[in-house]
Amino acid sequence: MSDVPPRPEPFTARTDPSALDDLRSRLRATRWPDAPADAGWSLGADLGYLRELVAYWADGFDWPAREAELARLPRFRVRLGGLGIHFVHARAVAPAGPVLPLVLGHGWPDSFWRYTKVIPLLTDPGAYGGDPADAFDVVVPDMPGYGHSDRPTGPPLDSIAVAGLWAELMDVLGYERFGAAGGDIGSHVSRYLALDHPDRVVAVHRMDGGLPVFTGDPADLTPEERAWMEDAAAWGAAEGAYAAVHRTKPQTAAVGLNDSPAALAAWIVEKLRAWSDCDGDVERAFTRDEILTNVTLYWLTGTIGSSMRMYTANGAIPRAQLARRVEVPSGFSLFPGDLVRPPRAWLERTTNLTRLTEPARGGHFAPFEEPGLYAEELRAFFRPYRTATTG
């Protein structure tokens, strides 16, 4: 067994033109379903909108230009836990004080794409009207089975295992102590970083409290907590079919989604619309190029199946793990367009809550929808913890 430590190597993705030719052929040959008149988005993806998006994807979208934009980020790959992990590592620009290393966790249906707009605001705040003293070293990994990270060939990894990989990644990068932040599955990964590595995580910032798991006496809950749990159950009944499929039968869905780019777009775009602060118009939150950059990353990497399988792994996490209280200082930014927003009482029950804000705009993908607001949320929350790092 080698004692040589893992060594990050620079990474640049280069798409074979034949892959784009195949993509366009599939898009043009889409076998469209019928839809009830005036169904709109009520039954899932709006067929009329999707037809327009697919037509643009086939004949107007410039993937090589988007790929070149992504290549401007400092991207690397390193082998951890037997898997090749892709990540962005952007260092602070002209900092005016202690630099805080920060690992950002994405969720589904995205990848490092979620943070591409906010990275420069965090590494070089002075260039965007902020205080240079708030500069971060930013690390944004693709979870295993997402983006340009390897797909596990065995059982999928859960959020606990991914948190362990991120702790190892930060060690490889020379960061003894650091902050963690994220949303969606990235919120869970950040939570387990704080739970399992409290000596290294100085503070943790999250955009959600996860779905509620309570093992105590329901009579001990506040009325607000009980109402939140009822809302979460109602949301699951109305909107949670995708998660049930991911958790129980991901391979069945993966056959169609990995074969039809139109189906993949439908599966992802419906969530971009439903979970963003866009008032029903997805292109108020994302341009078509931005939408298709995210979807094309899934298509070219063939990761829709592996990304869904992480729901299977997380569904098997023991309830005792889900009920653990985070003692590391915790902050939350609850954006108005996000899914099921927890009350303060729940966050105080489950974490060492030190800051809770409700920004005026933004949804589930706030780092992409509202990068300026999100950057300021992170700057403000982590400001007191900068002197606690040695990285």
- Single out the catalytic residue among 137, 364, 374, 385: 364
Q: What is the DSSP letter of 122?
A: H
Q: What is the DSSP letter of 141?
A: E
- Give the sheet arrangement for strand 9-10, strand by strand: 9-10, 75-80, 83-90, 136-141, 100-105, 178-182, 201-206, 326-333, 351-357
Q: Do residues 356 and 334 touch, judged by C-beta distance below 8 A? A: yes
Neighbours of 1 (CB within 10 A): 2
C-alpha to C-alpha distance for 161 and 155, rounded to whole angstroms:
11
Closest of 216, 219, 233, 307 to residue 267, by C-alpha: 307
197 is catalytic: no
The separation between the first and the last C-alpha atoms of the chain, rounded to the nearest angstrom, is 28
Q: Do residues 145 and 117 touch, judged by C-beta distance below 8 A? A: no
Question: How many C-alpha atoms does 301 have within 13 Å on its Cβ side?
Answer: 26
Distance of CA 372 to the CA centre of its chain: 17
Whether the bond into 109 is cis, omega within 30 of 0? yes
- Single out the catalytic residue among 311, 338, 374, 385: 311
311 is catalytic: yes
C-alpha to C-alpha distance for 311 and 249, rounded to whole angstroms:
10
Q: What is the DSSP letter of 323?
A: T
The phi-psi region of residue 145 (left if phi > 0; otherwise alpha if psi is between -120 and 50; otherwise beta) is left
Name the token pair of 197: 């590595």
Name the token pair of 249: 């039968």
Angle (CA) 325-322-215 rounded to 5° is 85
Closest of 200, 90, 179, 111 to residue 379, by C-alpha: 179
Q: Do residues 144 and 302 touch, judged by C-beta distance below 8 A? A: no
184 is catalytic: yes
Q: Give the pairing of strands 100-105 and 75-80.
A: unpaired
- Single out the catalytic residue among 184, 208, 277, 338: 184
- Catalytic positions are 184, 311, 364
